[in-house]
Amino acid sequence: MRIVTRGADLRALSRRARQSGMTVGFVPTMGYLHDGHLALIRRARSEHHRLAVSVFVNPLQFGPKEDFARYPRDEVRDVRLCRDAGCDWFFLPRVRSLYPPGFRTTVAPGPLADLWEGTARPGHFRGVTTVVLKLLNLVEPDTLYLGQKDIQQARIVQGMVRDLDLSTRVTVCPTVRERDGLALSSRNAYLSPAERARATGMIRAMREGRALVRSGTHDARAILSLVRQTLRREARPDAVDYLALVDPTTLEPINRLDRAGGFLIAAIRIGKTRLIDNLFLKPPVRRAGSQ
C-alpha cells in the first residue's frame, strides 16, 4: 500500500492504472475506521483492480459549535486497517492541501440539503459536496462507495454526480451494525456505557415501525406514532432533531407507504452525542387472490 499526501500524485497513479485497462474504486472517509468503513473497502476491493481510500476530517462540513477539534482520529490504526483490507492508495491530505490560502469556491448542493440534516446542521452539505467533488477530481474513480447510514448524504452526492455530468458511479452499501443493532459510527466512541445502552433503543424503535408495516399498516402517521413512543421509552433521548417517513429517492415526507417503500429516518441526541440512523420500510408483496 502506498501512502499519498499530494493530490497530484494520487491523480497520476489513478490515470496510469486506468490507462493500463484497470478500474479504480474509491472510499472517502473521515478516518477512525470501523467495520462499516471496512465493509465499503472490502466491497470496493472485490469489484476493482485498484482501490483508493481517503482519510480527511473535513472542516468545511462542521459548524462553529460542532466537534471538529475533538472528532476521533487515529491515523496509524487507519493505515494498518487499510493495508490489511487490501487498499492500494491511502490518501492522507492536509487541510492546506485541499483548501489552500485563497480557496473560495464551494458547491451548492440544492434543495435536498435544506431538509433534515441540513436543517440541524446548516452548511453541512455544502462542505460535503465540495470536498467530495474535489476528491473525485483527484482520484477520478470508476466507482464511489458510500454507506446507507448517511442516506441523505448519499442522495445528495448522487444528485451532484448526475447534475454535474461526472462519470463516476455511486454505489450505496447497506448499513453495518453492532450485534445489538446500533449503527456503526465513529461518534459512538463519545457514548458512555449507560448512554451506549440507551442508544440501541433507536434501532429497536425503528424495527417496531417495520414490524407494524409488515402487519399491514401503511399510514405514516400511525407508523411514526408507534416509533416515537418506543423511541422515548427505549432510548430516552435528550432531544429528537427529527423523525420522519420519507420517499426513498427525494427524501420528502410521505403520508403513506406504497410499493416503492420509504426510509424511516431519525436523528437524536443522547447526552452530548448526536446519532443518526435510517431503516428502509416496504409493504409486503401480497399474492394474487390473498385477502
Residue 185 annotated as binding? yes
Amino acid at 140: E
Which band of pLDDT confidence, cut at 50, 70 and 90, is reported for residue 289? low
CA distances from 266 to 152, 224, 232, 269 (A): 11, 11, 13, 10
* CB hemisphere CA count around 99 (13 angstroms): 14
The rounded distance, in Å, linking the Cα atoms of 241 and 180 is 23
Residue 48 annotated as binding? no
User: What pLDDT sits at residue 230?
Assistant: 98
Residue 139 annotated as binding? no
pLDDT at 179 over 90: yes
Which band of pLDDT confidence, cut at 50, 70 and 90, is reported for residue 262? very high
State the average pLDDT over residues 247-259: 97
Which of these ranges, 109-118, 130-139, 240-249, 277-286, has the smallest mean pLDDT?
A: 277-286
User: What pLDDT sits at residue 287?
Assistant: 65
- Percent of residues, the chain, with pLDDT higher than 90: 97
Q: Are the beta carbons of 211 and 186 closer than 8 angstroms?
A: no
Secondary structure string (H, E, C) spanning the chain: CEEECCHHHHHHHHHHHHHCCCCEEEEEECCCCCHHHHHHHHHHHHHCCEEEEEECCCHHHCCCCCCCCCCCCCHHHHHHHHHHCCCCEEECCCHHHHCCCCCCCCCCCCHHHHCCHHHHCCCHHHHHHHHHHHHHHHHCCCEEEEEHHHHHHHHHHHHHHHHCCCCCEEEEECCCECCCCCECCHHHHHCCHHHHHHHCHHHHHHHHHHHHHHCCCCEHHHHHHHHHHHHHHHCCCCEEEEEEEECCCCCCECCECCCCCEEEEEEEEECCEEEEEEEEECCCCCCCCCC
Residue 192 annotated as binding? no
All structural domains of the chain with their residue ranges: 2-173, 186-281
Fold match between domain 2-173 and domain 186-281: no
pLDDT at 285 over 90: no
Which band of pLDDT confidence, cut at 50, 70 and 90, is reported for residue 30? very high
* Residue with grid cell 477539534, as numbered in its chain: 69
Residue 31 annotated as binding? yes
Condensed to tens digits (0 to 9), the pLDDT of residues 204-240 reads 999 999 999 999 999 999 999 999 999 999 999 999 9
Residue 247 annotated as binding? no
State the average pLDDT over residues 90-106: 96
Which band of pLDDT confidence, cut at 50, 70 and 90, is reported for residue 153? very high
**Rg of the chain over all Cα atoms, to the nearest angstrom:** 20
Residue 158 annotated as binding? no
286: its cell numbers: 401480497
State the average pLDDT over residues 258-274: 96
140: its cell numbers: 477520478
State the average pLDDT over residues 53-74: 94
Q: Give the catalytic positions in this structure.
A: 37
Which band of pLDDT confidence, cut at 50, 70 and 90, is reported for residue 92? very high
Task: Output the CATH code of domain 186-281.
Answer: 3.30.1300.10
Tell me: domain 2-173, CATH 3.40.50.620, correct? yes
User: What pLDDT sits at residue 150?
Assistant: 97
pLDDT at 288 over 70: no
Q: In what order do the strands lie in the sheet with 273-281?
A: 239-246, 262-270, 273-281
